[in-house]
Structure 1
Amino acid sequence: MSMSETRGAAAPFSASFPIRSIEDVRRLEQTPLAEALTVRSTYEIFRNAAAAFDDKTALTFLRSGDPADEPIRWSYARLFAGIHQTANALHRLGVGPEDAVAILLPGCLEYHLALWGGAAAGIAQPLNPLLTDEKLASLMTAGRAKVLIAWGADDDGGMWSKAMRLRSQVPTLTTVLRVAPHDERPGSAGELPAGVADFAALRAAEPDDHLASGRDIAPEDIAAYFHTGGTTGAPKLARHSHGAQVFTAFASIQMTGQGPQDITINGYPLFHVAGVLPASLASLSAGVEVIIPTTTLLRNRQVMANYWKLVEKHRPTSLSAVPTVLAALANVPLDGADISSIRYCRTGAAVLPPELAARFERLFGLHVHESLGMTEMAGISTITPPGVIGPPGCVGLRLPWSQIRIVALDAHGNAGDRELPRGEQGMVLFKSPNLFSGFVDPADTAKAFTADGWLATGDLGWIDAQERLNLSGRSKDLIIRSGHNIDPKTIEDALGAHPAVQLCAAVGAPDAYAGELPVAFATLVPGATASEAELLAFTAARVDEAPAKPRSVVVIEHMPMTNVGKIFKPDLRALAARHVAEALVEEAWADLDLPGAARPRVQTEGEKALTVTIDAAATGPAVQALRARLQDALGRLPLKVQVLVQ
C-alpha cells in the first residue's frame, strides 16, 4: 500500500466562499497555500472524491445525440476502482514514473481511466488523433511512450489503423492496449496480434482497491505530457506536474464554487488541457457529474441539433464551449426546451466577439463568462466567476496565489522589460503554482519565459480598474502596417456586428510597401445574404482608425478551425497571400499576349511562401517577360516566392 493510501482520504475540494472581486481573491490568500492545499497528486483527488461521493454519478456517457437514449453511467467508486486497475495493469507492463502512456481515443469513459490511471503509473500523454502518423510518432518518440492505449475502431479519424502503423514507428513502444467501442459485440474483434492486448481484459485481472506499485506520488512528479503547436510545424511537449494539475482543480473550484449539486457537459476534446483539467479534473475533484456527449463530442451533428433538448433531459447547471461552438449553438432554436437548469455559462480558447455575446444573452438569457487558459498553465490562468459580469474580452480575475503583469512589447513583438500601468495594453505575463514544468526540449522552455522567470503568454491585454484581465488578441496576430500595430479585434468586432455574419477574422495580407495590409474573412449566418462590398462598407464605417480599415472582406463557406474549435489564422493568412499573388498575376497576364497558354497557377506553402507556375507550353520572349515581371512584382512582397516554368 502506498504512502498516499496510508495517509487516508481527505475532504474533496469545495469553495471556501463565493468569489466576486479581487478582494475576495486576496481574502483566500490570507491562508498560506501550503495550508490551504495539502493534496499532492491527481490520484489523491480521485481517492478523496470516491470516499466522499461513492455511488454518486461521476461520468455520464451519451451513446448518441438522441435525448431518448439511455446513457452509460459510472459512479465515483467505479471510476476510482478503474483507475486502480488501469494503473496496476500498466505497472505490470513495466510502466514506471518516467514512462509515458500515449492515449489515442475519442470521447469515452475509458479516456478517464487512461488519463488518471496513466498518471498514477507513469506519465499520461493524450494525443490529437487527427495529427498525421509522422507527427504522432514524433510526439510519442519524444515522450518515450512505452504503452499506447488506442480506440479499437476506425470510425473516427482512423484511430485503430493509426495505432497499428505506429507500432513500427516508435522505438520505445512495447504494447498497444485496444479499447473496444462501447457498442461492440463481445468476441467480435477476433484474435489480436502479438504486442496488442485487450484493455478491459487486462484491467479485469488487476486489484481495484490499491496501487500495486506502492508508489508515493510527489507534487513535482510529472503527471502528463500535453502537446502544443501540433497544427503548425513541430509539436512541443509540455510537462505538467501533479502539483500543477492539482492546483488547477483546486483554484478552479475556489473561483467557480462548483460542487456535488452541479452537472456539466464536457464537449472539449480530451487530448486538450481545457477538456482534461478545468472541465474534467476540477469538476471531478468536487463531486460534479460530467457528461461526455458521444465519442465525437460537439462535432456530432445530432448532439448539436438536439443540444437544448439534451440540456432539458440531463439538467446541466453549467455550459462551457469555445466561441465558435457558441456561434453554432446560437443557430439552434430552443423549440420550447427548458434550459433553466443552466446557471453558469463559460467560454475560453479565443476572445468572445461582442455581437455573439449579446446574441447568446438575447436568445437564451445566458451571460457568457470568459476565462483564459493555456497548456503552459495546466489549463487555466484567469476565471470570471458566476455573478461577475464583465464586458466581452474580459477574462476575469487572476487565480489566488498567482501573479500577473502587463509589459510593453519590444521591437520584435516580444515581451519587453517595461511594466505598464492599469488600462494600457501590452503582453500578459504570469507566475503561478500551476505553471508547467517546461517543455521536454529545454530550448523550447527557454523561449517560453522572460529572463526574470515570468511566463510570456503571447496574449495581448490590459488590467482594468477592478483588476480583471481584458484580452484583445495574440501578439503574433497583430497586423503590422508600416510599423503601425493594428489590433485585429478592432476589425473583427466591427464586422461581427453585421447581422448576417456568423464568424469573422482579420489578418494581414502581404504588401510590397506597407509590409501588411488588413483584410477580413467572414462566414454568413445560415440563410443570410450580404455582399462583400456591403460588409466592407459596414466594417469601414465602424473602424475609426484609418490604417485599420480593412482593404477587403471576403466571404468564405467554411472558417478554418483547429481541432479544438479555434479559428486557425495561419490558413487565412495563406489565403490572403494567395489572393494578393493572384491579383498581381492577373495584372501581368492581362498585359501580355500568350496564345494557347494557361494562366499561371498560384500555390501557397504555408503563410510565408508561395510558388507561381507558368505553363511551359507557352514559349518565347513573352514567357520570359512574364516570368521576369512576376519575379519583380512578387519578389517585393514579404514572402518567399518562386516563379517556375513547367
Structure 2
Amino acid sequence: MTDVDALWPRYRGPDDLSAIEALPLSDRGLPSTTYALLTRAAELWPDQPALSVLPDGQRWQHPAVHTFSDLLADVHRTANLLRSLGVGRTSAVALISPNCDELITATLAAQLVGIAAPINGALSAGHVAELVGRSGARVLISGSPDLDPAGWTIAQHLVAIGAVDTVLILQATGTVAAAPAPELAGAAVHNLTELARTYDGTAFTGEPPAATDLAALFHTGGTTGTPKLAAHTHRNEVTDAWMIASNTELGSDSVVFAALPLFHVNALVVTTLAPLLRGQHVVWAGPLGYRDPGLYGAFWKIVEHYGVSAMSAVPTVYAVLAQCPIDADISSMRVALVGASALPAAVRKDFESHTGITLVEGYGLTEATCASARSFPDHPRPGSVGQRMPYQQIKTVRIDDTGRWHDLPRHTVGNLAISGPTVFPGYVTERTTDRFVLDGLGVLVDGWLDTGDLAWIDDDGFVHLTGRAKDLIIRGGHNIDPTVIEDALLAHPGVTAAAAVGRPDIHAGEVPVAYVTLRPGAGCTGEELHAWVADKVSERASAPKSVTVVDTLPVTAIGKPYKLPLRADATRNAVVEALSGLSGVEAVDAGTEGGSTVVTVTVNERADREAVESTLSRYPLTYRVQCPR
C-alpha cells in the first residue's frame, strides 16, 4: 500500500467502512497538527489557488485569491506577530469578525502560535465578555468599524471593561486600511495585515504545536444561557478533517463553496481544514455568507464560473436555492451537503427536482469536533442522517434516574453516544496561570460523549435521529417526542419547515403546539393543517392543540432550529387566554432568561392582582406581575 492509498482509501459507499478500519488510524500518515496540515499543502501545491474570497454576492467575479504558499506565508507573518505580542502555546486569541480573507489567515495563525477562540459577535455583550474572560484571551482580532459596526461596538466594550488590552483590526476582503487604526483608551490597536507585513513569512519563529495541544475553543451556540466553551485538540481537528476529506466523490481538483461563519466548526473543519488536506480550492462567500440576498441571484453563475463541485449548507439555504432560476451550467456540482437541522421532505424534493443534485445529509456536533456521520449520494438511506464515520464508534443508551448508562440494542431509541478520536477533551471551566481546566460536565462518561440527541442505529451503523432529549413534551406524565409531530407535518406537500413545542396547560402540565412555514402559494391555513395532522401522528396524545403558520422559524446564527422563542410565544398565548376574563390586565409578555421562559404580566390599578396571580399559579410557568403606575 502506498502512502497515497493509506491516506485516501476508497470511501464511496457504506460497505467501504470495514475495509478502511482494517488499517489502524495511526498507520494512515495524517499530519499531526493543523499547522503540519497547512505546510504539507504548501509543499504539495504551492502555486495552486487555495482560497478565492468574494467581497460580496454582487462582486463575485472579483475575489481575493491566495495560493497555498501565499496562505502559509501569511499565516507565518500573523503567527509571528501574535507571538511578539505575548501569545504562547496556552494563550487564547479571541476572534470576532464576519468572514473575510484576513480572518481565515488569522484563525489558522492563532492555532499555530496558541489557541483560536472564535466568537459570534451577534451574541449579547455580556455573553461575549464572559466567553472572552473564560478563554483568558488578552488579544482580540476584530473586524474593522466599516466591516462590522456591531462587532466593533463589542470590541470597544471589551476594552472598556478591561477584558482585552490589544486589538488587531481586519479589513473587508479586497480592501486596505484607509487610515491609521482608531484609538481605544486602555488598549493598543493596530491594523493586522499592515503590522504583520513587517514580520517573517518564511517560517514560524516559535515552537510548533503538538497533536495533543489545544487548537481551538468553540462556543456551543448560546441558546440556553451563556454558551459553553468546548476545547478541541489539533488531533481532534485533523482527524475529523481527514474523515470528511476521505470522500471518493471529490479529489484534489474539486472546488468547494463555503459560506458559513468561521465561528462555527463546520466552516473551519469542513470548508477550511478538509480542503487544505486534499489540496482543494475553496470559494468563500462574502461577510454575510448565506444571509447575503445578492448571493442567491448570482449563485448558479458562481457555480459555473468557479466550477464548484461541493457545498455545505443548512436546509433553509436549499429551500431558497430551489426557488432560484438556474441560469448557468451547474454540471460541476457533485455533492451538496446538508446538516444542522432536520431536512424537510418538501425541501429535498424541491431542490433535487429543480437542480438534479442529490442532497447528502450529515450529522455532527461541536463536542465531537464537527462531523460524526455521513450519507452517500449513490446509496440513499431514507430517514437517516448517515453512517458513522471511520474510527468513530456509536451506540444508544438509556440514562436512568441515578445517571447510570445502560447500553441499548440496535433499532432501539435512546440517547446517542459517540466515542473515538474526535471526541473533545471537555469544556473550559477555569483557567490557571499556565493551563485550562477542562470538564465533561456530565456529557463524557468513560470516553463516550452523550450527544443529547435521541436516535436509533440500524445494522449498518446508520443513525436515525428522533429528536432532542431535552425537547421532550411531557403531557400529563406522557413523553411526546416533538419529531413525531414535525415529521407528520413535513409530510404535507405545502409545509417546508415545522417545529413543535410545549405550551403550558392547567390540566396536563403542557400540551404540544406546532409552528410551520409554507411553500409559496400553498394556500393552506393553520386550522386546516391542525385538522390534517391529527390523523397523521402515531398517537392521539401527540396531536398538537394548534398549528400556527409563520413566515420563518427562528434559527441560530448557523441555521440550527432555535425553539426558545416559540416556547415563549406559546406560553404567552396560553397566559393571554387564561387571563382573558379578568379586568385590568394591560399586557402579557414572554421572554427567555437563562434558557427558561419567563412571563411578565402588566396590570393597572383596577386589576384584581390576587386573582391574576391565583390564575397564573395554576400553570407550570415562571411569572411576575407588575403595576408600573
Provide the residue aligned with 1:577 in structure 2.
Answer: 571
| Superposition deviation, residue 189 in structure 1 | 4.7
Give the corresponding residue for 1:512. 506
Once the two structures are superposed, residues 22-81 of structure 1 have per-residue CA deviations (whole angstroms, 9 ceiling, x without a partner) of x42221122122211442110000000111111111111112323763222111110111
| Correspondences of 1:584-595 after superposition (within 5 Å) | 584-586=578-580, 588-589=581-582, 594=583
Query: How far does the alpha carbon of each residue in 1:219-277 deviate from its partner, in whole angstroms, 9 at most, with x for none?
Result: 11001111114233112111110111111111112246533111111111110011111
Q: 1:637 aligns with which of 619, 622, 626?
A: 619
- In the alignment, structure 1 residue 552 sits paired with structure 2 residue 546: yes
Instruction: Say whether the 8 Å CA contact 1:153–1:181 is kept in structure 2.
Output: no
**Runs of at least 5 residues in structure 2 that lack an aligned partner in the other structure:** 431-436
User: Aligned ranges for residues 146-185 of structure 1 at < 5 Å?
Assistant: 146-156=138-148, 158-171=150-163, 173-184=164-175
Shift of 1:330: 2.1
CA separation in 1, counterparts of 2:337 and 2:574?
38
Report the equivalent of 1:307. Answer: 299
* CA distance 1:13–1:530, shift in 2 (3 Å): farther
Instruction: Give the whole-Å Cα distance in 1 for the aligned partners of 2:134 and 2:599.
Output: 31
Q: What do the CA deviations read for 1:441-476 (whole angstroms, capped 9, x no partner)?
A: 179834343543311000111111322111122111
Question: Is 2:257–2:284's contact at 8 Å kept on the other side of the alignment?
Answer: yes
Q: Is the 8 A contact 2:181 2:189 kept in 1?
A: no
1:476 to 2:465 alignment:
no
Counterpart AA for 2:460: Q
The answer on 1:16 being equivalent to 2:19 is no
Q: How far apart, CA to CA, are the structure 2 residues paired with 1:81 and 1:209? A: 6
1:512-558: per-residue Cα shift (whole Å, max 9, x none)? 22222111012233444322111211222322311111110012233
The structure 2 residue matched to 1:216, chosen from 181, 185, 208, is 208
Please state whether the residue corresponding to 2:94 is helix, strand or coil: strand
Q: Within 1, Cα distance between the matches of 2:141 and 2:4?
A: 31
Shift of 1:386: 4.1
Q: Who is 1:433 aligned against?
A: 421
1-structure distance, mates of 2:59, 2:171 = 24
2:89 aligned residue: 97
CA contact (8 A) 1:321 1:346 kept: yes
1:611 maps to amino acid: T
Q: Are residues 1:389 and 2:380 paired?
A: yes
1:292 and 2:284 are equivalent in the alignment? yes
What CA distance in whole angstroms lies between the structure 1 residues aligned with 2:487 and 2:300?
27
Aligned 8 A contact 1:19 1:25 in 2: no
Deviation string 1:103-133 (CA, Å, 9 cap, x unpaired) is 1111111111111110110101111011122
Aligned residue runs from structure 1 range 318-333, under 5 A: 318-333=310-325
- 3-state secondary structure, aligned to 1:234: coil
1:38 to 1:66, Cα distance in 2 relative to 1, 3 A: closer
CA RMSD of aligned residues (A): 2.3
Q: Residue 373 of structure 1 contacts residue 382 of structure 1 at CA under 8 Å; is this kept in 2?
A: yes
Matching residue of 1:355: 346
* Pair 1:164–1:641, CA change in 2 (3 A): closer
Q: Judge which range, 358-367 or 577-586, deviates more.
A: 358-367
Matching residue of 2:602: 613
User: How many correspondences in the alignment?
Assistant: 616
Distance 1:524 1:165, change over 3 A: same
- Structure 1: 5+ residue runs without aligned partners? 1-9
> What letter corresponds to residue 9 of structure 2 in structure 1?
S
Counterpart secondary structure, 2:613: helix
Q: Conserved in 2, the CA contact under 8 Å of 1:13 and 1:285?
A: no
Structure 2 counterpart SS, 1:550? coil
Q: Which segment drifts farther, 224-233 or 46-55?
A: 224-233
Matches within 5 A, 1:623-634: 623-624=607-608, 627-634=609-616
Q: Which amino acid letter does the alignment assign opposite residue 499 of structure 1?
A: P
Aligned pair 1:341/2:329, yes or no? no
Given the alignment, which residue of 4, 12, 28 partners 1:36? 28
SS at 2:103's partner residue?
A: helix
1:199 equivalent in alignment to 2:192:
yes
Structure 2: distance between partners of 1:109 and 1:134: 28
Q: Which moved more, 1:192-201 or 1:86-95?
A: 192-201
| Mean Cα deviation higher: 67-76 or 53-62 | 67-76
Partner of 1:439, secondary structure, is strand
Q: Deviations over 1:337-374 (max 9, x none)?
A: 32211111111111212232222222222221111111
Contact 1:353 1:492 in 2 (8 A): no
Does residue 79 (structure 1) correspond to residue 71 (structure 2)? The answer is yes
Q: Distance in 2 between matches of 1:260 and 1:528?
A: 43
Q: Is the 8 A contact 2:474 2:510 kept in 1?
A: yes
Identity percentage over the alignment?
A: 36
Q: Which moved more, 1:400-409 or 1:569-578?
A: 400-409
Written as runs of structure 1 = structure 2, the 5 A alignment for 1:368-387 is 368-387=359-378
Q: Residue 498 in 1 paired to residue 486 in 2?
A: no
- Cα deviation for residue 490 of structure 1 reads 1.8
- Deviation of 1:203 after TM superposition, in Å, equals 1.4
* Structure-1 residue corresponding to 2:405: 417
Range with bigger deviation, 227-236 or 575-584 = 227-236
SS in 1 for 2:41: helix
Q: Cα–Cα, structure 1 residues 612 and 233, in superposed 2: closer, same or farther, change >3 Å?
A: same
In 1, Cα distance between equivalents of 2:182 and 2:407: 63
Q: Is the 8 A contact 2:138 2:165 kept in 1?
A: yes
Q: Which amino acid aligns with 1:375?
A: T
> What corresponds to 2:588 in structure 1?
601
Query: Could you say which residue in structure 1 is the equivalent of 2:125?
Result: 133
What letter is aligned with 2:191?
Answer: D
- Contact 1:98 1:123 (8 Å CA) reproduced: yes
Does structure 1 conserve the Cα–Cα contact (< 8 Å) formed by 2:565 and 2:592? no
Question: Do 2:64 and 2:174's aligned partners in 1 also have CA atoms closer than 8 Å?
Answer: no
TM-score normalised over the length of structure 1:
0.90
The range that moved more, 415-424 or 258-267, is 415-424
